[in-house]
Each structure stands twice: as C-alpha cells, then as structure tokens.
Structure 1
Amino acid sequence: MKNWFKSILIAILICGCSETQTERPRTAPGDSLTTEKASLDASRQPVFLEINEPQVDIDLAEIKKRGRLIALTGYNANSYFLYKGEPLGFEYELLKLLAEDLGLELEIVIARNLDEIFNLLNQGKCDIVAYNLTITKKRMEKVSFTDYHTLVRQVLVQQLPDRWLDLKRHEIEKMIITNPVDLIGKKVYVRKGSSYYARLVNLCDEIGGDIEINEAAGDVSTEELIRRVARGEIEYTVADDNLALINVAYYSNIDIHTPLSLPQRIGWAVRKNSPHLREAVNRWLKKIKTEPTYNILYEKYYLNKRFFSQRVKSEFFSMGGNKISPYDDFIKDQARQLNWDWRLLASQVYQESQFDPQAKSWAGAQGLMQLMPVTAKEVGVKNPHDPQQNLAGGVKYLAKLWEYWRAIPDSTERLKFALASYNAGPGHLEDARRLAQKFNKDPNRWEDNVSEFLLKKADEKYFQDEVVQFGYCRGEEPVNYVAEILERYRDYQKFIEL
C-alpha cells in the first residue's frame, strides 16, 4: 500500500465531518425503486461526448512504475459487491489475481454509467475495463479488447404467464414469445450503450419488421431491468444468458429460453495504445483458464444459484441495504469513542473474527476483537464471547494504543501504528522504529520505513541487532494486517453510507 492511500485515510478521523467518497450506488435486487422510474428514460440522462482515442500515454511500464493497476468494473450482483463484510465479485476476484500476477496493487473504480466507461478509459481514469462487455466492431473502434474469456448468447427476458406452475411447457410456450419474429411491434427495454441495443437493431432488419426499442438510461443495470420484468413493470428486456440464468434463481417467474443472438465473445478492454498491458493480460488469461481457478470462480458467480439467492436476499448484501454485519449499531457506538469512521472499525472487526463472536484463535484470542485473556482482563471484559463486552474491550485497548503513539505527528501514520500494535504489540514496532532510525529511515512513517524493518525482524541479522529488545517477529502478519484493514475500509466506503 503506497502513499496514495493518504488522501483517503485523512478522512478517517471524521467525527462530524462530511463524507468524501462518491455516493454509493443504490440499486437493490428486490427493492421497490419507485424513485428510479424516470431513469428508464435515457433522454433524461446527460449526454456524454464520445472519446474514441486515448488521451494519455500509459502502458504497462508506466503502470508498474506507479505500482498499482486501476481497474473499472460494475457494481452489481456478479461483478463487484459487498456481502457479510467481504468484498466479492467475479471480476473483482479475477482482477485481484491479475494484479497479483503483475506484482501490482489493485485500485477499483466503479462504473456508474455504461455510456461513459470507454471515455474514462481513454481519459486515463483507469487502465482496464473488467466488465461483462461483448466484443463488437463498434466498440473496437474505441478500445482494444483482450482475448475473450467467456462466450454468451443474448436471450429475451419475459414474464411467465399467470399460474405457470400449473401449466406444461408446451402450454407455456403458446402464451409467451418463443420466436423473435413475434417481437415485431413489441416494446423492449435495453440499457443504453449496451450491445443489446445494437443486436435488436440488427434483428429488426433480419425479421423484416420494427421492434419498439426503448433505451433505458446508462446507469440502469441489466439486473434492474430483469427485476422490472419479473414485477410486471415492463414486458421485455434482453440479457446475456449467463446473467439471465443466475437471475432465475431469484426471479422464478421469468422465462429466458428465447435466444436472440449467436454466441458472442466477452472480454476486457484496454486503451489502443496499451499493447504491452494487453499482451500481459492475455498471457495471464491463457494461464488461468488452464487452471481450476477460473472455472471455480465462474461456477461461484454464474452457476451457483443457491449462493446468488442467499446473497441477494440477505440484509448484509450491499445492493440490498446499508448493513455490514449484525453488530453495526454496536460498532457505530464504539467508533464514536475513538472518533473513527465506523466502517474502519468494522473492517478491523472483520479482520479479527469475520464478525463471529464465538471465534477463537490457536493462541487463545477470543471474540469479535480477538482479545487475549490477559488483555480482556485488563480492559474489564468478563465474557469475551459477549459481542458488546468484547467490542467495548477491544476499543478500550485501541484507545490505549492510540494514546501510546501520540508522538507520531501525522494522524494517518499514527493510525497505522495503532493498528499494527493491536496485532503485534507495541514492543515489536518500537524495535522496528529503532532499526529504521539506525538505517536512516523515518521512524514516524509506516510505508517503506517502519513496516520494512518490521518485516526484516524475521531475519536473524536484524532481530539480533543491538537496538532490538523484543527479538524475532514474523513481521509479515502485522504488515498485511494493516494493509488488508485499510483496503477493505476503502471497499466499505464505496458501498456503505456513513
């Protein structure tokens, strides 16, 4: 994690301050979004001037120099979302693997509007678009696509007839559209800027008649259109078959059996002047598709109907509400004791126990905040498995650590020291600070300074140095601990309101 985190972390001690992140998306499967009705009218949305050529000269070398891959993906029930406190998604998990393969950190940018994703790419706001994008000739005029990773067909999504459970399949087929020709004169809603619109235009020529194509605004998701079909608010939409199939798990009253296209390729996009990045992604794609990982992830997000149904029905699914865990109210209350953003404290609780009050480590740490018995006694926790007691005790200990590091002048750096101390104890950090000072590094800075020497405390040369008082430390654990909490906190900021 580099210095680019600093601008985000300045907002951590925000008691009473305004939210600095962009407004989180609100589309939620199963919600009655009457306020969004008008957004189906694409004419009400801003018109984006198309940028068809790269405005920046950034390829793999520049990205590696920067140290992080900036990827744009969608906020939906398959690509990127939050579930029970954990960031998940098909594209999200693949992007993490890609960034790891390239030796880079990963920064996620959420696509708010399909109309502007290629503009954002060509403007240099991201390096790669990892989205459920069909490769088309028109799109290839704007961007360069990677090799395809999935083949899909477009299908018609329509509502099944009343009492469909009492009917046989051949009876149902007489009451719904099974032949694309029958779409002549019918009103079909598709997302503006999508390949579905282009397909319907071509279909009109192929069947020799006009389909009434209604463009929904670019910020209306395909999942939202499927939901509206299921609720009878619109009659028809179009979706890729993998997306349609997984949505049947939640909306059992829709039919997706009428194909509207031949197989089409799904790929990721980079700028046309980023050939080295494209080559690197293609090499990685070729490798990962020979391993079980890709198929496991595809199964998880597109074929596992039970998992899909569980998450979209859960109150801890970010698209369905503003909850991270069952203990949010306790966490919010305790975060005020620290003057912390409650989402930061929630990220630490997830790191410690994944919100399991019965969690117990091999070393004997217990409860939501994984308090060791000695620490629990010190902060007055009698029952470590009681969520409120454990959380209050953990926050008391954090407050002590915050005070312990009061000499660190920068509050952002002080936060990192407090978190690392919670994991490894302040003694090992003091050793790392002394080593940093001895080797002409800054003892008050975490990244590439104190964290570097905390990692080196696993090396005999350093843990036996004369300035070291607390001996060996497996420094990788506290360094990763801090990085993962802050990275998850960034995800929480995207999805969860303050």
Structure 2
Amino acid sequence: MTTASPLIQRWRRIALTLTGMALALWPIDPTPLPGKALEGVKSRDFITIHTRNTPLTYYEGRHGPTGFEYQLMRRFADYLGVSLDLNDDHFVPSVLDAVRQEGDIGAAALPLDPDDPELMYSRAIMPMQPIVVYRRSLPPPRHIDDLVGLQIGILRGTGISRVMHELQQQQPGLGWKEASDLEAAALLRRIEDGELDAAVIFEHQFRLNRLFFPEVEDGFKVGDPLSMAWAFPSNQGLGLIRAANAFFDDLKTSGELDQLIDRYFGHDDYLEYVGARVFIQHVHQRLPRYDALFREAARREHFDWKLLAAIGYQESHWNPTATSPTGVRGMMMLTNATADEVGVADRLDPAESIEGGARYLRSIEQRLPEDITGEDRLFMALAAYNVGLGHLYDARDITRKRGGNPNLWDDVRDALPLLQESEWHSRTRHGYARGGEPVIYVRNIRRYLEVLDYVDRSQQQFHQLNARLANHPENETFEVVPPKP
C-alpha cells in the first residue's frame, strides 16, 4: 500500500473531523490498540459509551433508561450486535477525558470540535443553536451589547465558550462565567434564583427545560449552530467511526433519526406556556398538600402516583372543591353515578375523591380487551375516563372500519374526533361525543406526567449534585472570563 504524503494525510484528517465524508477513503488502521477498534469491541461483546445524566442524553424514566442519545446508543449497540456499557457519571469535560483515556465513544450532546488532535468525530447528528436566556424580571436583551454588565453563565466543553470568545471580539465589554461541573438545568435554576442574570445554552436544552423554570425567558440566538456528534479516540483506528457513520446514514435514510428528533424536541407546544407556568407553581404550592393521598391511592390500585396526580390536575387543578356546570365535583371530578359505583360518599373529600378516581381508572382498565397492552392500554383507559368506555369502543369500531388497528392508541386517537361528525357517529352504538376532548385530555396528562417525572428526577439530581459540590465554593464552580481591557 502506498503511503500518503503528510499533506494529504493532514487534509484527510480535516475532512474527517468536519464532515465524516472522507471516511470511505481511509483504510482501517491495521494495528489498532487492543480493545479500542471495532474488532476489539466485537471480541469483548460490549461497547463502552461515556455520557451525561441529562434529559437530552440519558436518564432513568418511568419505563427504564431513555433520552435522545440513549436511544441512539442502544440502537448502535444493536447494530453492532454487542451489549451496551454506559458510564454516565460525567460532565462534558470529563466525557472527553474518558474518551481520550479509555474509549470507546463519547455521546453527550458534544459539539464537533476540529481542534482536538486526540479526538475524531462522527458526522453531524443534529444542529445545536446557542441562545441567550435571561431572568424575566430583567429588560429583555436583544443584542450582545445588552449583555454587557450582566452575570452570564455557560457550560465549559459544550462549544459555547468558543462562541462567546467570538462575540467578545465584537463586544470587548462582554464577560461571563464558565462551569465544568454543572448542567443546563443548574444554570437555569441559578437564573431563577437570582445568582445569574442570564446564560447561553442550546435552544433544544431550553425547550426541554423551560416548563420547569417559568421565570426564565429566551432572548436571542447567538452565533451559528454547532453540530452534535459522537467523539472517538484518534488512536483507535477507523473501524468504529466508520460503523457509526454508516449507522447514522441508515437512520437518516429510513427517517428514524428525524422521528427521534421530533419525539424528543418537537413537542414544546403540548402545554401552552402560561398554563405551564401555572402548573409548575401549583406543583410547588398545591401538590404537597395532597401528594401523600395520591401515593396511598396509587399503592392500593398499583398505579404510578404521579399519573394519578396528573389526572387530578387535569380534572381540577388540584382543587378539592371544584364543581363543573354539569355537576361533576371534587379533586377527580366524579359524577354522582361514578361516585356511587366506586363507593365515594363525599366527592368533596380529597382523600375519598382521589381513592375513588384511582378505583374508577382501574375498573376501566380491567374492562378493556386483553389485546390492548402496554401504554396503549393506559392511554385508552385515560380516554375512557374522560369520554366514557362506550364512546371509546365506538372509536375503536371506527378505527377498524378505516383500516386502522383498534388496539393502538395512535390509531384510535385519530378516530375519536370523528365521533363529532354525523357521518361517523350516526353509525355507532353510543352516538355523538366530543371526541376531540379525550385526545387533548390524554395528551395533557402525558405532558403533566412528564413534568412531574422530571421534577421528581431533578430534585434527586439536585440533591446528588449538591452533595458532589458540597465543598466547592462558588469561585470553584465558576471560572470568570472578564471583559477585555
């Protein structure tokens, strides 16, 4: 094999780092370090990926591990036919250190960085746009000049430091603080608590977190979008990075990558923002009065207590004396007939109402056909809690007539609004129903549940983070980058 000249080798390195398009031109390193190249991964039958415990990357959800990049990691391990070994005890700088020293891959919302000779990067997974976020009580910043004099925080290693230094060339009066051992949610918390005035994070990070920090608002975009990519040690050969690029090509071609991006980042409008702010306020102010009741009812009926709490909020905003014009009352908004069915004597008693609502939901779930399983079963039970079991069965019949699968919530969800159209409800057993309402009902409960899960998980993470930083004074958490003289 002819050895390429140093100039050609340098050009190939640049092309690989920036786009990944030149990988097909490079031969696989014939002598990769043991355990580092693709052959090593396959021989030991597992791949080690270094990541972070964040909503964007990887976290433990209600049904096990999840997160956007976790979904990619798991699929890539399956693609290679090996097990997945995750190390999530990292912030961005330590992810990169671990990849340099240990391999195999870093996957942690990492920016593609062409300047690190010890790392190579996959082709871009998705763009990451830096934006300014700020405390709502401040005058809205609209330009970098408006940032001068503000206490601004960023996360080191995310690529935003480079963006800030470029901005400082335009506005020398700009200064900021950089943290290596925090995450985006911690910056937003510090803004809301008044420790920072603003931060520069990625747009998708703010969209994922904005519901939980209602006093933080987005300002304006800064710099060009960066590219999220996976990092690989530059000394391990090219087999693994080639495999990763082929994997991403397949995901892109099939549309699965776009579907995952939309699933994790495309639903910011599920809750109207003002309503979301009210919800978070009620999580802190109202829910603590009743969470023990939700937990006890959930224990009895074998539900997630946060699911029952989400239903209670959708029904009454956790108001035990709520009454609708149609006569349903209480925390879980039970009718007289339903209250009698589940043994509730006083619908305005929060303990009875929550217990009765849990029993009613369980009774609906038990009456569904056995062919409906998993989350489809839960979502249909929630829809029936709102619109009635008879109308749900009618929607399943419409689904079947339209060629859909009556056991899948996605198909039944599309059929429910047709109960409002005479062309369809005239052919059903139970007739007209406001079928759009259960669709919104289930959607909102799912979103409320996501928020409650996140709040619960964030509290645990904040406790863990505080324990890790207990002996870190503020000047150790942040490194100050002052304005230029």
TM-score normalized by structure 2?
0.49
Higher-RCO chain (CA-CA 8 Å, sequence separation at least 6)? 1
Structure with the bigger percentage of helix: 2
